[in-house]
Structure 1
Amino acid sequence: DPEEREALECREHVRTQLDTVVDFWLKYSHDTVHGGFFTCIGRDGTVYDELKYVWLQGRQVWMYCRLYRTMDRFHKPEILEAAKAGGEFLRKFARVSTSSGQWKCAFCLTRDGKAVKIQRTIFSECFYIMAMDELSRTTGDKDMQLEAEQMMEQLIYWVRVDSSGLGRPQLPGDVATNSMAIPMMLLCLVQQLTEGRGQEVVQKYRELGRWCVQQILQHMQRDGTAILENVSLDGQELPGCQGRLQNPGHALEAGWFLIQYSAEWGDDDLQRTAIDKFVELPYQNGWDKEHGGLFYFLDVDGHCPTQLEWSMKLWWPHCEALIAFLMAYSQTKKPELLDRFSQVYEYTFSHFPDAKSGEWFGYLTQEGKVALDFKGGPFKGFFHVPRCLYMCERILDDLLANKD
C-alpha cells in the first residue's frame, strides 16, 4: 500500500529528526554550573549569550519531561536530571515579588539567576506553570503541582478580574483588546492541568476552558473569511494596523488546540470550525504562492504590514501547520488535509533542518534562504521544533496502528 509506505517513511524521518534535535540540546544547552539552560546557541552549538529567558527555561523543562514520560526511547536519566535541574533553577530564581505582593515571573535572568527584566505580560508565568505541572507528573512531586495551580489562579485573576498586578498603567488612548495569544495560552494550560486527572480537576477548569474557546472564536472576522490577531473585548474589529493584523502561524496553532478540545468534549461543530476557519483559512491566506512557505504577518486589507520581518519564513508557524494538518487529517480522514500536510512537510524539511550541524534554522528570507543562522535565541528554544516532531510522530503512530 503506497499510502502506508509513505506514512512509514514520514514517521521514520520525523523520528530521526526528533532524535537529532534532542541530541543537539542535550549536548550544548545545559548549564552544569548554575542549572537551567542556555538558549542563545550558534549554528555549531557555541553559546553566544548567557542570559536565560524564563519562558524558554519553562518550555525546555516541559519538553524534556513530556519526552521522558511518554516516549520509551527518551526515558533516559540524563533527560530527567536536566529537567529536574531546570525546574530547580526556575523555582529558585524565576519568581519575583511585586509591589502589590503578588508573584511575577521575570522574563530574563542572568546566568546565575538574577532578574534582568520583567515583562508586563503573562507568558513567563504560563510556561512556569506548564513546566511545574509536567515536572510534577514526571517526579510525583505534589508540591510542584500545587505551585502550578496556585500560579494558575493568579493568572486567571489577572486575565479575568484585575490586570493591575501586571504593572501596566491604564492609559487613556489604550483600548482594551482581546489578543488571541491570551485565551490560546490559557486553553493550553487548561489542557495541561486537566490531562489524565480526575473529574474534580476537570470540572474546576471546565468553565475557563469554555471561556477560552469563546474568546478564540471571536477572532473569526469578515464573515468568517479571516482570522484576526486582535479584536475588541466584545469581538469587534479594531481600527488601524493592530486590527488588520493576521498571524497565520498563530491561527494554525489555535486551530489544533481547538481540534484537541473538540475531540475531548465530542464537539463536532467546533471541530468543523477549527479545521475550516483556523487551519484551512490561515493556510490559504498565509501561504506564499511564489516562493512557498508561510508568511509571518499579513494585513487583511493587503496593506504592507509594519513589522519588518512580515515576509520572512519562520520555523514555528511551519511547525504549527504540520501539527494542525496532520491532526485535522487524523480526525476526519479527508485526503485534501493530507495533501496540505505534505505540501507544508515538503517545504519545511527542505528548508529548515541543518544537515551539517543538526537542529533547525529559525529565520529564513521570503525566498527561503537562511537569514539568521543561530539555532537558539531569545525566542527560539527547545520547544516548537521538538513539540512538532513529537506530536507528528505520535499522530503517525496512531494512524499506522489504526490503519484497518
Structure 2
Amino acid sequence: MNSNLKNLKTELKLELQSILSYWMENTLDEKNGGFVGQIDYNNNTNDEAEKGSVLNARLLWTFSAAYKISKKQDHLDTAKRAFEYISEHFYDSEFGGVFWSLHSDGTPKDTKNQIYALAFVIYGLSEYYSVTEDNKSLHLAIALYNRIQKHSYDNEKGGYLEAFTRDWKPIDDLRLSEKDANEKKTMNTHLHIVEGYANLYKVWKDESLRKVIIELLETIEKYFINTETGHLRLFFDENWIEKKDVISYGHDIEAAWLLLQCAEIAGDGNLIERYKKYAVQIADVTKEGIDKDGGLWYEFDPETNELIAEKHWWPQSELMIGYFTAWQLTGKQEYLDIIFKNWDFTQKHIIDKKNGEWFWGIFSDYSTMKKDKAGFWKCPYHNGRACIELIHRIES
C-alpha cells in the first residue's frame, strides 16, 4: 500500500470517529426521544425543530455501517436508537408508509409519502439488519419495498413516481425541497431507490428484487445518464419528457460510483461492464467542476452559463469515492491526486475544527455558509460514508 493511501486511511478513521462522536454528543433528544431536528452553524440546538425521516434513516444507516469498522457498542446503541425511533414514530402502521416529518415531540407533521424517504428507510433498515439480524428491521424493509412497488412503480411507462398522500393518493406538490422542480420522475429519487434496493438485496436474496434492481439500472441508463456529455439528466414528467435543469456535480460523481456498486450487487455482467464505463466517463467530465484549490463546485447552469459558486460539504464526500472508483478501474494516478487535493481542501475549509462535524459549505470567497450543522438535509451519511467506503477500499 502506498504511504499516501496509508496516511489517508488513518486520517479517515480518525475523522469517522470524530463525526460519529459529534452526533452522539450533540443530537440525542433526551426529552422527546430519538434525535433533535436541528443544530445551527454556531452549534445552537433547536429543540422545537421538526424531525425529518431522511435524517433519521441516514443516521440509522451511518451508525450501522460504522459499527462494522469500529465494533464500538455505543455506535451500535445509537443505530438501535435510530431504528426504534423510526419504527415507533416515522413508520405509518395504518397505511404502511413513512411520515415525511414529525413535530419535535414525535407526532406526525407532514404525512406525505415521499418515495425518496421510503428508499432511505429501506437503506437504513437493511444495513441495521446486516449487523443485528433483527428480523423486525428486515420485515419492515421488505414491507416498504412492496409499498413502493405497488404504489410508485409506473406499470405503463416504467420508472417511479415521486410522492403520494398518506393514503397513497396522487399529490400536487411532489418536490423534495424548494429548489427542486415539481416533476413526477427525478434522477435523485431513482438513484436512492436503487441504492436502498441493492442494500436490501445484500441481506434478502429475493430473485424478483434482483430483477427490479436490474430494470431500475436499465431505466437510469436510458433516461438519466446523458451518454454524450457524461452528465445526469435530473427531471422528467411522467411520460419521460425531460425538463431542463442544472448540472449537479455532486450528484454526477455520486451516481458514478454508486450505480456501479448496485450493478455489482445485482451481479449482472453486462450492466457491470457498462456502468464501469460510465463511472470513468462521469469522473472525467466532473473534473470541469473542480476548482484549482481541489474543492468541487456545487452546480452549473448551462442555460445561463452560470456557476453556482458554492462548495457544499456533500459533493466533496462523493468526489472522494467517485475518483477512488475511477482509480480502481483504470490505475491512473491522476484520480488519486484529485482525492488527495480535495481531502486537503476539505480539511482546511469544510471540517469544523472547533465544534466538530463539517460546515454546510463555503462561498467562493471562502466565507462559511451559515446553514445547519445538523438538520433536515444535514446528516453524517455523505461524509461518514466517504470515510467508511474509502477505509474498506484501501484495506482491500
1:188 aligns with 2:195: yes
Matching residue of 2:211: 207
**d(CA) in 1 for partners of 2:47, 2:289:** 33
1:54-100, Cα deviation, whole Å (9 max, x unpaired) = 111111012111122x11xx323322222222211111111336xxx
Q: Is the 8 A contact 1:220 1:277 kept in 2?
A: no
Query: What is the one-letter code of the residue matched to 2:136?
Result: D
Q: CA deviation at 1:287?
A: 2.4
Q: Is the 8 A contact 2:97 2:147 kept in 1?
A: no
Matching residue of 1:402: none
- Relative to structure 1, is the Cα distance of residues 235 and 111 closer, same or farther in structure 2, using a 3 angstrom cutoff? closer
- Relative to structure 1, is the Cα distance of residues 216 and 279 closer, same or farther in structure 2, using a 3 angstrom cutoff? farther
Matching residue of 2:97: 104
Secondary structure of 1:102 counterpart: coil
Matching residue of 1:129: 122
Query: What is the one-letter code of the residue matched to 1:396?
Result: I
Q: Is the 8 A contact 1:39 1:380 kept in 2?
A: no
Secondary structure of 2:114 counterpart: coil
Q: Is the 8 A contact 1:315 1:363 kept in 2?
A: yes
Q: CA deviation at 1:175?
A: 9.2
Q: CA deviation at 1:379?
A: 0.8
Q: CA deviation at 1:193?
A: 0.6
1:253 aligns with 2:254: yes
**Matched ranges for 1:264-343 at <5 A:** 264=265, 265=267, 266-267=269-270, 269-281=273-285, 283-288=286-291, 292-304=294-306, 310-343=308-341
Q: How many residues align?
A: 375
Matching residue of 2:235: 230
Secondary structure of 1:227 counterpart: coil
1:87 aligns with 2:83: yes
Matching residue of 2:362: 364
**d(CA) in 2 for partners of 1:235, 1:189:** 23
- Relative to structure 1, is the Cα distance of residues 134 and 232 closer, same or farther in structure 2, using a 3 angstrom cutoff? same
1:220 aligns with 2:225: yes
Q: Is the 8 A contact 1:187 1:257 kept in 2?
A: no
Matching residue of 1:397: 395
Q: CA deviation at 1:321?
A: 0.8
Percent identity over paired residues: 20
- Relative to structure 1, is the Cα distance of residues 336 and 302 closer, same or farther in structure 2, using a 3 angstrom cutoff? farther
CA RMSD of aligned residues (A): 2.7
**Structure 2 counterpart of 1:150, from 124, 139, 143:** 143
| Structure 1 residue runs of 4 or more that deviate by more than 4 Å after TM superposition | 174-177, 231-236
Q: Is the 8 A contact 2:123 2:197 kept in 1?
A: no
Long gaps (5+) in structure 2: 156-160, 175-180
Q: CA deviation at 1:160?
A: 1.4
Deviating more after overlay: 224-233 vs 141-150: 224-233
Q: CA deviation at 1:262?
A: 4.1
Secondary structure of 1:377 counterpart: coil
Q: CA deviation at 1:351?
A: 1.4
Q: Is the 8 A contact 2:295 2:316 kept in 1?
A: yes
**Matched ranges for 1:2-13 at <5 A:** 4-13=2-11
1:330-361, Cα deviation, whole Å (9 max, x unpaired) = 23322222222223223222211111222111
- Relative to structure 1, is the Cα distance of residues 300 and 227 closer, same or farther in structure 2, using a 3 angstrom cutoff? farther
Secondary structure of 2:36 counterpart: coil
Long gaps (5+) in structure 1: 399-404
**d(CA) in 1 for partners of 2:238, 2:227:** 17
Secondary structure of 1:355 counterpart: coil
Matching residue of 1:61: 60
**d(CA) in 1 for partners of 2:149, 2:358:** 35
Secondary structure of 2:375 counterpart: coil
Q: CA deviation at 1:177?
A: 4.9
Q: CA deviation at 1:149?
A: 0.4
TM normalised by structure 1 equals 0.84
- Relative to structure 1, is the Cα distance of residues 175 and 58 closer, same or farther in structure 2, using a 3 angstrom cutoff? closer
**d(CA) in 2 for partners of 1:225, 1:142:** 41
Q: CA deviation at 1:263?
A: 3.8
Q: CA deviation at 1:120?
A: 5.2
Query: What is the one-letter code of the residue matched to 1:185?
Result: H
Q: CA deviation at 1:224?
A: 3.4
